[in-house]
Amino acid sequence: MSGTDSDLIPNALEALKRFTTVVADTGDVESMRAYRPRDATTNPTLIIRALDQPHHAEILDRVKADLPGARVADRARAVLVAFGCEILGIIPGRVSTEVDARLSFDTAGTVAEAEKIIAAYAARGVERSRVLIKIAATWEGIRAVRELEQKGIACNVTLIFSLVQAAAAADAGATLISPFVGRISDWHKKAGTQWPSADQDPGVQSVKRIYNYLKQHRFHTEVMGASFRSVEQVLALAGCDLLTVSPDLLQQLQSMDQESSLDRMLDPEQARQGPAGAVLNTSEPLFRFAMNEDAMATEKLAEGIRAFVADGRKLDARLI
């Protein structure tokens, strides 16, 4: 990289943004102001953390005052949308707002809740093009995604730990999928697996496999790597359509001098030049069988849903 280029790209975060859309994995608007991501993603865990910050605490009081006597579910949705609106006042792109994880195995319930979220944003003057509805990658969730996308409601399919989940979501027309990196790595570390470098990290390899499959078969679905444990994992996926990164890792990337060119690790044209395997059959029986065969994906999906449900209940308790 020339001296002029180094002046234009002062750190690893800015270098990464040349190849990849950086998304803030946080509910904290102050972090978004600091790192200037294009998009942002939230979930109940992140919202609970944000509510513990003094400058966000008043959101709960405002929702309670605006919705006296309302059901807790309606208040919880109002909190999520209030955060989403604050975020959209800072970022230029889209915010992901999550459907209650307790609906993860209820297709009709997921569709109904997604429509209520979109209506709540519309009531506050937010166009649906700026909102992604976040839905867990269960079979029932992916069926809901198909229905919502046909209605013009864009979806972010989350808690993806396997190629079959990603393929099924793409078949359903999902706008975006979020394959998880760090949670896959965690599972393999617990099983005693070791790897010498980030590019051989099982979580990184899973996202690369998903990215290449979708590009080779020309699905329009965007791939957003998520759940990172280190900057090395992030940089190993430079070039992925999007990467959603926590404020701690964004800070580390921003503080890294970009002394040499950051290599692009994923590229759609290169992926399409590779040998394309068969398109996966993502019918319900084969989807369920493939998940049953994949202990890691089955365990991490269930664990992720339980964690989101637990934090959803914590939010409910603060809204009573």
Model confidence band, residue 261 (pLDDT cutoffs 50, 70, 90): low
Q: Which of these ranges, 42-46, 246-250, 278-282, has the smallest mean pLDDT?
A: 42-46
What's the mean pLDDT when you consider all of the chain?
A: 93
Round to whole Å and give the CA distance between 250 and 309.
27
Beta-carbon-side half-sphere exposure of residue 200 (alpha carbons within 13 Å): 6
Q: What is the pLDDT of residues 52-72, one digit of tens each?
A: 887 777 888 899 999 999 999
Question: Which pLDDT value is given to residue 1?
Answer: 39
Least confident of 1-5, 88-92, 311-315: 1-5
* Share of residues in the chain with pLDDT > 90 (%): 81
Task: Write the pLDDT tens digit of every residue in 135-156.
Answer: 999 999 999 999 999 999 999 9
Q: Give the model's pLDDT for residue 277.
A: 82
Which token pair is 156? 């972010």
Question: Which of 251-272 are b and which e, b meaning 16 or more Cβ less than 10 Å from the residue's Cβ?
Answer: bbbeebebeeebeebbbbeebe
Residue 172 confidence (pLDDT) above 80: yes
pLDDT at position 16 over 80? yes
Instruction: List, in order, residues 6 or more apart from 225 with CB less than 8 Å away.
Output: 178, 179, 181, 207, 234, 237, 240, 242, 243, 244
Per-residue pLDDT at 26 = 85
Q: pLDDT tens digit string along 287-304?
A: 999 999 999 999 999 999
Tell me which residues are annotated as active site: 134
Mean pLDDT of 174-188: 98
At residue 6, the pLDDT reads: 44
Position 252 pLDDT exceeds 60: yes
Tell the burial category of 55 from Cβ atoms under 10 Å away from its Cβ (0-12, 13-18, 19+). exposed
The band of 4, judged by pLDDT with boundaries at 50, 70 and 90, is very low
* pLDDT on residue 28: 80
What are the residue ranges spanned by the domains of the chain?
A: 3-315
Superfamily of domain 3-315: Aldolase class I (3.20.20.70)
Looking at residue 260, its pLDDT comes to 52
Query: Looking at the DSSP assignment, which residues form a beta bridge with residue 40?
Result: 24, 95
At 9, is the pLDDT very low, low, confident or very high (cuts 50, 70, 90)? low
Pick the closest to residue 105 from 136, 147, 145 (CA basis): 136
Question: Does 5 score more than 80 pLDDT?
Answer: no
